[in-house]
Amino acid sequence: MKAQRLFQQGELQWIVLGRDPAKPDYVIDTNEYLIVHQGRGLLMDPGGTEIFPEVVNGISEYCSVDSIDHIFGSHQDPDILSSLSLWLSVCPQAKIHVPWVWTGFITHFGCDQSSMVPVPDEGGEIDVAGHRVQLIPAHYLHSSGNLHLYDPTAKILFSGDVGAALMPEADAPLVVKDFDAHTAYMETFHRRWMPSNRARDQWLERVRALDIDMLCPQHGAIFKGDDVQRFFDWFEGLELGCASN
């Protein structure tokens, strides 16, 4: 699994882990993101049980696993959260921040509700050793209870399934190189899995007010610089909730 530092400023780092070459073809490829501040960690959408060892190994390059104080789950899907019980076995002090509407569902991954911090629909904040990040509402994109995470210092938006791409190459780059070519890997996914144009428009109004240098989705490749605005414009013009093109 590749690990790449996306941002560093003083004791603040953002790391992405992805592109596991040992992953079976039937397992959905996911990106895991880690914030480290003053030696403490926040892990976003930590992945399924099948990639837990690889994610642990990747994280250990940047911080000790038992220093992870927070785990953020953007929504309820198993490809991003079925490893929760394994994570709590190695960092039992970690708080699991998830949309309130999914707390009962997520207990089925072996996570006791005493470890959960239910996040209200309007969002909230997480404090990572004095570094505050914002939880941004993204409901119905694609989950009815969905949140994204924004770091105003790093100017990074973790966007969950928004911006996701189904990349055909196991060794595809972690950053978008050719936006126009990249849309071929995004269109079917977004039309099928994003059900609401209205929800999309509300999200765009919200995130366009943020200062974003990088948009980091849960699947596929990261958008940097001008490609962030290109993605917003492309997403705005897409008809959502379609079973086919």
Report the Cα–Cα distance between both ends of the chain, in Å, rounded.
33
Q: Which CATH number fits domain 2-236: 3.40.50.300, 3.40.50.11810, 3.60.15.10, 3.40.30.10?
A: 3.60.15.10
C-beta of residue 232 within 8 angstroms of C-beta of residue 223: no
Say what the pLDDT of residue 151 is.
98
CB count within 10 Å of CB 237 equals 7
Per-residue confidence band for 88, with pLDDT thresholds at 50, 70 and 90: very high
3-state SS record for the chain? CEEEEEEEECCEEEEEEECCCCCCCCCCCCCEEEEEECCEEEEECCCCHHHHHHHHHHHCCCCCHHHEEEEECCCCCHHHHCCHHHHHHHCCCCEEEEEHHHHHHHHHHCCCHHHEEEECCCCEEEEECCEEEEEEECCCCCCCCCEEEEECCCCEEEEECCCCCCCCCCCCCCECCCHHHHHHHCHHHHHHHCCCHHHHHHHHHHHCCCCCCEEEECCCCEEECHHHHHHHHHHHCCCCCCCCC
Say what the pLDDT of residue 26 is.
74
Per-residue confidence band for 244, with pLDDT thresholds at 50, 70 and 90: low
- The residue among 157, 226, 211, 222 whose CA lies nearest residue 4 is 222
For the chain, domain boundaries: 2-236
Say what the pLDDT of residue 171 is.
73
9 vs 97: CA distance, rounded Å: 25
Say what the pLDDT of residue 121 is.
97
Condensed to tens digits (0 to 9), the pLDDT of residues 150-172 reads: 999 999 999 999 999 988 777 78
- Mean pLDDT over 105-119 rounds to 91
- Mean pLDDT over 47-58 rounds to 93
In this structure, which amino acid lies at residue 232? F
pLDDT higher than threshold 60 for residue 245: no
Higher-confidence residue of 173 and 238: namely 238
